Amino acid sequence: MRRIAMLMLMVVTAGSLRAQSPEVGLWIGGSQYYGDVGIIESFYMPEDLAFGGFIRFNFNDHLALRTGVGFAGVQAADSLSVVPYRVNRNLSFRSSIFEADARLELNFWPYIIGVPKKHSLYVFAGLGFFTFKPQALYQDTWWDLQPLNTEGQGTNLAPDLDTYNQWSFSVPFGLGYKANIGRRFAVAVEFGARRTYTDYLDDVSGRYVDPTQLAAINGAVAGALSDRSINRAAGEDNTFYLRGNRETNDWYFISAISMSFKIFDNPERCHDFDD
């Protein structure tokens, strides 16, 4: 991540004096999660709404810097999986995500908004920051999971774990296609992945703790949501068994369409539209 930040700083510094008129835009699309909960055997399919806005600075025909903000929802349920272990574990969650990022876009072909008959495939990569808030449905109520410490974080049940932060950094990357519409408008479609630096987007990461002891510390709801296994013998629990996989962090993905508008007209680059 540090190398990406240094590369972006060098490119922005080198290109800032040559930047064309900036453009502003809005995007809307769908989001999807990939992590410890739910379906792992299917290809990416957007399940929740995502939307946001951005500003783009075109340094030249091939390189641009885009910064923006966005909102996305993600969700998953073990009950939808075909993996027996996950079905029996029976966990589920939803989370709202607010993100801000900066990324470099590399156009495959020469492209600047406002130049006639121009379009290009592009790839992008950058750095992002996001907040999240995992919740689970229990007895017809959505409960915030982080304060419940469902894996014993911050208690003597898991002394090596602190309560996790509800924010993290990410590395967004992906590809898309953009094209001009008239002198000052452009449209684009893109698919992007967000590699996050948290394993708690879904509130699932490590091992089970004793739900009875957790209930005594954090309340009955915490105990109930820590272990929702279906086939569990009476008087037994999953204490110390794996609940998630700490070795891998969570991901989320966004597919979107966008429209952008060039703030300042540039007649010398756009005169061909008048022909």
CB 168 within 8 A of CB 196: yes
Predicted confidence band of residue 115 (pLDDT cuts 50, 70, 90): confident
Residue found by looking up tokens 């296994």 in the block: 229
- Judged by average pLDDT, the poorest of 43-57, 70-84, 183-197, 223-237 is 223-237
What's this model's pTM, rounded to 2 decimal places?
0.88
What whole-number percentage of the chain has pLDDT above 70? Answer: 86
Residue found by looking up tokens 């893109």 in the block: 190
pLDDT in tens, 258-274: 999 998 776 545 444 44
Q: Count of residues for the chain?
A: 275
Q: How far apart are CA 221 and CA 262, in angstroms?
A: 52
Predicted confidence band of residue 4 (pLDDT cuts 50, 70, 90): low
pLDDT in tens, 229-242: 998 755 677 888 99
pLDDT of 250 strictly over 90: yes
Predicted confidence band of residue 275 (pLDDT cuts 50, 70, 90): very low
Mean pLDDT of the chain, nearest integer: 89
136 vs 1 pLDDT, higher one: 136
What local confidence, expressed as pLDDT, does residue 273 receive?
46
Predicted confidence band of residue 154 (pLDDT cuts 50, 70, 90): very high
What local confidence, expressed as pLDDT, does residue 1 receive?
62
Q: Which domains does the chain have, with CATH numbers?
A: 2-264 (2.40.160.20)
Exposure on the CB side of residue 51, measured as CA atoms within 13 A: 4
